[in-house]
Chains A and B, each alone.
Chain A
Amino acid sequence: MGQTFSEKVLGAKARKTVKAGEIVTVSPDYILTHDNSAAIIQEFRKLEIERVKCAEKIVIVLDHVVPASSEKYAQNHKDIREFVREQGIPHFFDVHHGICHQVFAENGFALPGKLILGADSHTTSYGALGAFSAGIGRSEAASVWATDGIWLKVPETIRIEMNGKFPAMVSAKDVILKIIGDEGADRANYKAVEFAGPAAKNLSLASRLVMANMAAEMGAKNGYFAPDEKTISWLEGRTQGEFDVVVSDSDADYGAILNYDLATIEPQVACPHTVDNVRPVSEVQGTPFHQAIIGTCTNGRIEDLRVAAKIMKGKKIHPGVRVLVIPASRREYIQALQEGELETLVSAGCLVLNPGCGPCLGAHQGILAPGEVAISTANRNFRGRMGSRDSAIYLASPATVAASALEGKIADPRKYE
């Protein structure tokens, strides 16, 4: 019996042959933290260890509340900058770079075959580039800074075979929402999810990032796309170092294999208050809302802004709603400036925020009042996530959110084809 990608990467790190279910102690290639670095520094200090073990493995991106919205956040950022200087951490990205997952990927840290840990649940994103990447908590991040080691259970793998081509105005967000809706929020708990099949090869890297990012919403430890020529050419000029492409054996032992035909998928909407409460747009269209969000680490890349701009070109958003646009990073922002998408969106009445997490986790920039409803391209719609516990969030693709913004109620984007 062959091995899965996850068994191979963790086995190589543990220097032995491993099978799903085994526990290994390994040393990561990179460890990502963000604004939570302030709290992680506090934990690290408790250990009374003077220096981090491998400063060059630490990547810190300030993105969750940027620029600081209060004195408390400002102090956190200041503490982090001082720690970065004190410890000589070379990979530090201050408030102007963008969302950690996009910044991490576009700066070439997310590489095939690498083992990446991040103190953020959406660390699963880097599987889009063929890395093994999993989320951890604060204590563990402090512990990895100090010891360069962590225990991990080798996950069983669910393989998702994708065939067919998307209909117009249907995208990666719709298929991942459909999968989560069908399979449930805990389907991949403790497991790896491998996105495969002919249709996986057709997906852009941005689309792969959407799906690997949202693998976290099925509970996955990591998501994965086998690197191909698209991956290698995307990485050209960005990589931080050498890498080895690692792929599952053809006779690998999968826990389950699921099949999806992209041609049959219609736009999907995750309804309040769980990501697996998914319905086709036809069943929820007409639902009124107050705020729309196009952006975040899930859908804030140029291909997302392009589709939104295409739908809104020459039109105005509905006067009853407000629309926030948040490019995922400064690079995506610049490209959207150069290509004109931002001009189109601002002309339509959208408000463009600086690259960052924005209101996604309810900390600042567009908090919801009691009774308010949002539709967002983000990855989570839990009760109270974007503000009041009496607010509600729908999740959808950039196309669906853009179409909805024009109509002031949830709308099917296919009519804007």
Chain B
Amino acid sequence: MSKGKVWKYGDDVNTDVIFPGKYTYSVLDPAEMAKHALEDLDPEFAHKVKPGDIVVAGKNFGCGSSREQAATCLKFAGVQAVIAKSFARIFFRNAINQGLPVVQCSEAVDNVESGEKISIDFAAGQIKGEKGIFTFAPLPEFILRILDSGGLIPYIKKKKIEREKNLGDKNA
């Protein structure tokens, strides 16, 4: 996995500051959503983030609203992954369902700084930073399959196509 620049934030980064509620029903295009990513936390972020960058945060990242745009806006802003000490449960699911990898690793959070370049090996469960290598438990297999498909909707669609193909083969 290529190296990404770290954007580091604190605990309890909520979905309102990741993607403000005023846009939730008016901004529907993912590229447009990306322009508002982290708007009420760090107004600079959306202008300066580069593809492959990595968001690092403390505990309970993504708490609050169930709005999936909080994951969508980060993904379409080019964020490679979010590393946090813990994730709020709905955000955790939404990130996977948007194909945005989420990594729980307190040690890495405590040992990387904003601006540092780090890399993540998802299969091995390793984060390489300037201060060392930090390990995390890889996500379960079925979640990795959803992530690899690019999210839940493409995953279900892929399964549907495979099922139809199998049925077609049987009938042939």
Contact = CB atoms under 8 A, between A and B. Distances in A.
Interface of A: 23, 35-36, 38-39, 42-43, 46-49, 64-65, 70, 72-73, 76, 119-121, 123, 135-140, 142-143, 146-147, 151, 185-186, 189-190, 219, 221, 274, 276, 361-363, 367, 380, 382-385, 387, 389
Given A137-B90, A363-B25, A142 B40 contact: no
Size bracket, chain B contacts: 35 or more
Contact of B66 (A119, A143, A387, A389): A119
Given A119-B66, A136-B90, A363-B21, A383 B26 contact: no
B96 to A, nearest CB: 9
A382 B14 contact: yes
Closest 7 CB pairs of A and B: A186-B60, A361-B21, A382-B16, A137-B68, A384-B40, A137-B94, A139-B97
A187 to B, nearest CB: 10
B40 A185 contact: no
A221 B153 CA distance: 23
Chain A interface secondary structure, helix, strand, loop or mixed? Answer: loop
A386 B40 CA distance: 12
Given A121-B65, A139-B98, A363-B21, A384 B156 contact: no
B25 A76 contact: yes
25 contacts: A36-B24, A49-B160, A64-B25, A73-B26, A121-B64, A137-B67, A137-B90, A139-B98, A139-B151, A139-B153, A140-B94, A185-B63, A186-B12, A186-B59, A186-B63, A186-B86, A189-B86, A189-B87, A219-B60, A274-B12, A274-B14, A362-B20, A367-B22, A382-B14, A385-B16
Given A363-B24, A380-B64, A384-B20, A140 B88 contact: no
A363 B153 CA distance: 27
The winner among B17, B21, B88 for most chain A CB atoms within 10 A is: B21
